[in-house]
Copies of this chain bind each other. A is one copy, B any other.
Amino acid sequence: MQHPDFMAKVDPDKAYRLLGIGATTLVSASDGKTSDVMAAAWACALDLTPMKATVVLDKSHYTRGLIERSNRFAIQLPLASIAKETITLGSVSMHDDSEKLMHSGARFFHMDGYAMPLVHGCAAWMVFDRISEPSTESKYDLFIGQCVAAWADTRIYRDGHFHFEDLSEDLRLLHYVAGGHFYRTGTPLDVEG
């Protein structure tokens, strides 16, 4: 499927700005045979240059095995317009429904050179190479990645900044509370330097 309109490259070493806002994420991975996408509220920037991030992946998640085998994953920022699909991708497991992705209602695309499915309706997409830390992964379910590619929807993020001011409520990020309950990104606030 064609990649989204308005999609432009972001310097991977500037991608920490995409994560600092604290939005709910979707994590994708593929081992070349099967693919999965899960929701993860516990993803966080870890370092600036090279840009690294952490994500918590419980041992029960099918996506985790795909990452352990492929050493690569994507972190994406779903918009409010796909909140329902985000909840579905976070609550149904590939262990229970091998056609979970097809049944999720989400639409997927691929970028050349990257095996994992990316999700239409996100503000940004970041690909990470896993930095293997077996002790941290096993003890805390905490995975570390280094960003190797990133893209953003230029309506929402350009020139290193989000621009939600002129956008509809559907084009805001999701901030997770519990169950099916989120808050959208709200109004800007600027502190004078």
Contacts and interface: CB of A to CB of B under 8 A. Distances in A.
Contacts of A189: 80, 83, 174, 181-184
A192 B192 CA distance: 41
A170 to B, nearest CB: 10
Contacts of A185: 175, 183, 185-186
Copies of the polypeptide in the assembly: 2
B186 A21 contact: no
A163 B73 CA distance: 34
Nearest to A135: B135
A183 B21 contact: yes
A169 B44 CA distance: 25
Interface of A: 17, 20-24, 41-47, 52, 54, 56, 80, 83-84, 86-87, 133, 135-136, 140-142, 144, 160-162, 164, 169, 172, 174-193
